[in-house]
Amino acid sequence: MKKISAMVVGCGDRATVYATEGCKNLKNMKITACVDPDISKLEMMKREFGVPADNCFASVEEAAARGKICDCVINGTMDRLHVSTTLPLLELGYDVLLEKPVCNNEKDLLALRDAAEKNGCRLFICHVLRYSPFYRKIKEVILSGEIGNIVHINTYEHVGVFLTSVSFVRGKWSKQSECGSSLLLAKCCHDIDLICWLNNDTTPDTVYSDGGRNFLIPENAPEGSGTRCLVDCPAKIREKCIFDAKPMYLDNCLLPWYPWQCTGRDYREITDEEKESSLKTYNPHGLCAYKCGGDIADHQTVSVRFKNGSYATHSVTLSSFRDGRDIFIAGTEGEIDGRLDDGKITVRHYDRKTSWYNSRVIDVNEDEETAGQHYGGDRGLVKDFVNTVAGGRTSISATTINDSVNGHILVFRADESMKKGVPVKFDKSGD
Ligand SMILES: NC(=O)c1ccc[n+]([C@@H]2O[C@H](COP(=O)([O-])OP(=O)(O)OC[C@H]3O[C@@H](n4cnc5c(N)ncnc54)[C@H](O)[C@@H]3O)[C@@H](O)[C@H]2O)c1
């Protein structure tokens, strides 16, 4: 297959993961242009992906002024910039792979959908989990009719202590007032999307949601704690605190591209002394986790009634101890349950011989498509997107904008319900 050419808009963590998947692993893509106001990112794109200097732009407007110069776009800007950086490119006829969440309101969501349709563009949303062999297999079992009709889907997202801290407490998704996304939108738009996709014989009718920020608040900080771990928090408090910055960021640092982003430098080039000094001074990851001013929920539960009488529930808790996702699906003729990080799916049926049940386990760990981030989801998404841009058919996981609208609207309605304390009808504009 001929390689497709792509322009990367927002050359940060996520966009470069997709670019690497396409160019270096799948080898069906080449990056021929890039946009980022940060000149060091443009330099990195020249170095790592061989982007010609003439095609490095500081803004989407500058890139758009050149017309359509490649086959498609990978947009990995932060949440608030998705709409303004995508619309001008759809107008030029680009197919776009856009990071989730699409945006934080229904008007913009439908405007993007309509712009893609009007200009005949394929707009794919990065709901990567749909492409992981784990969820794809679950979808296949449902489509095969093996568990009959869906009665209830229950999902649970456990956000581990490290991810909680680095993203939702001290990180760039900690304040809805700044990043524009709630916890449900930033983290669980994947889960709500999965629920809508797995149960897409029907559409949501009503949603109720409850939750809030009740645990990671100043009142719950250990008595006598300081405001910055390495500056004014006593050792005897730190050694019991799960959020102590030293083990988390200096000793282990599981996702190193996050806590050092505020230095403005590549995390691989920062010395230990510079890291420690940043945590003692300006780095938000050095702040007390209870007192650093985040405003998103730290736990939330969502309950959805679908038009055909089936239900779904989703819960999320920050600072769980084992990071991961569970799913249980009750059907009229069988049930499915599994845990994403185990990679095992159990399918059960009623057993007439014993009046008990029988089960079989599907193990996706051996599936070579689980390679890469998000349990194989990132690679699967890029493969499907490239294939579609090249004129091929989309897969059952396809996350086009049309497929992603219901999940996003359900998130908006759930957050509205949590705020108002009442169930909210799903109906979208134009329904
Ligand atoms: N699909 C997933 O599972 C998943 C996982 C994590 C993050 N995300 C989403 O991916 C997106 C990107 O997150 P990230 O951590 O890679 O961000 P990042 O901060 O690493 O990258 C964003 C890049 O955009 C650049 N930028 C800023 N303003 C710009 C503009 N006007 N035009 C073009 N570029 C601009 C920044 O300089 C930066 O290089 C977010 O929306 C996030 O919510 C998705």
Say yes or no: CB of residue 11 within 6 Å of ligand 1: yes
Three-state SS for 320? strand
Say yes or no: CB of residue 41 within 6 Å of ligand 1: yes
Q: In the prediction, which pLDDT does 428 show?
A: 74
Distance in Å, CA 11 to ligand 1 centroid: 7
Ligand 1 probe mutation, 7, 8, 9, 13, most atoms within 8 A of CB: 13
Closest CA to 39 of 28, 30, 47, 31: 47
Distance in Å, CA 15 to ligand 1 centroid: 7
Residue 365: how many CB atoms within 10 A of its CB? 11
- Ligand 1 atom with the smallest distance to the CA of 13 is 16
Say yes or no: CB of residue 127 within 6 Å of ligand 1: no
CATH H superfamily, domain 4-125: NAD(P)-binding Rossmann-like Domain (3.40.50.720)
What are the extents of the domains in the chain? 4-125, 130-216+294-367+400-425, 221-286
- Ligand 1 atom with the smallest distance to the CA of 374 is 3
Say yes or no: CB of residue 95 within 6 Å of ligand 1: no
Say yes or no: CB of residue 16 within 6 Å of ligand 1: no
Say yes or no: CB of residue 13 within 6 Å of ligand 1: yes
For 106, the token pair is: 């229904």
What CATH number should be reported for the domain whose range is 130-216+294-367+400-425? 3.30.360.10
For 257, the token pair is: 């591209």
Q: Give CA angle at 337 (331, 342), nearest 5°.
A: 160
CA 398 to chain centre: 16
Ligand 1 probe mutation, 49, 77, 408, most atoms within 8 A of CB: 77
Distance in Å, CA 259 to ligand 1 centroid: 15
Say yes or no: CB of residue 130 within 6 Å of ligand 1: no
Distance in Å, CA 232 to ligand 1 centroid: 33
Q: In the chain, which stretches have pLDDT less than 70?
A: 1, 429-431
Give tens-digit pLDDT for 366-386: 888 888 889 899 999 999 999
Say yes or no: CB of residue 377 within 6 Å of ligand 1: no
Give tens-digit pLDDT for 307-359: 999 999 999 999 999 999 999 999 999 999 999 999 999 999 999 999 999 99
The DSSP line for 102-144 is --SSHHHHHHHHHHHHHTT--EEE--GGGGSHHHHHHHHHHHT
CA distances from 66 to 60, 69, 416 (A): 10, 7, 41
